[in-house]
Amino acid sequence: MTGRLNSAQPYAIGLFRIVVGLLFACHGANSLFGTFGGETPAAGTWPSWYAAVIELVGGSLVLLGLGTRAAAFISSGAMAYAYFKVHQPQALFPIENSGEGAAMYCWAMFLLVFTGSGAFGLDRLFAKRSGSEDRAAADQTPVAA
């Protein structure tokens, strides 16, 4: 059973990456453009406008699996900043300070820093085309339990 689960790991990570990237990009689009009824910050407003740009660009890159580790690292840091500067001063626990989203995105993106893009990512496609089979194989290596 474990062997089958390990062989499916790159696909599970790829699907996880796609869903998290899509949701994160939608959050950024909502913040920047009010696409889903959100309020839009003025261009250049710190930190809300910059956070929205990181969410939109970082989420799109993660969704596509392009520069996944770097985009996820920056996105994770942005969400850690959002949690500790915006939410945590209001109350200690995420359920009390409405910081569940920031905390979940922070940890989901942090996980992608270490797992890579998994299956279905453009990183893997470009690695194969450039002859970097070692890099693509390293991204596919299952994590030992």
DSSP characters for 17-70?
HHHHHHHHHHHHHHHHH-TTSPPPPPTT-TTHHHHHHHHHHHHHHHHHTSSHHH
pLDDT, residue 140, reads 54
Report the alpha-carbon distance of residue 72 to residue 78 in Å, rounded: 10
CA 122 from centre of chain: 15
Greater pLDDT, 137 or 16: 16
What is the maximum span of the chain, computed from C-alpha positions, in angstroms? 53
Report pTM. 0.83
The tokens 């922070």 sit on which residue? Answer: 106
Greater pLDDT, 143 or 94: 94
Report the alpha-carbon distance of residue 76 to residue 85 in Å, rounded: 14
Model confidence pLDDT, tens digit, residues 11-40: 999 999 999 999 999 999 999 998 877 678
Report the alpha-carbon distance of residue 113 to residue 50 in Å, rounded: 21
The mean per-residue pLDDT over the stretch 138-144 comes to 51
pLDDT, residue 145, reads 44
Model confidence pLDDT, tens digit, residues 48-97: 899 999 999 999 999 999 999 999 999 999 999 999 999 999 998 999 99
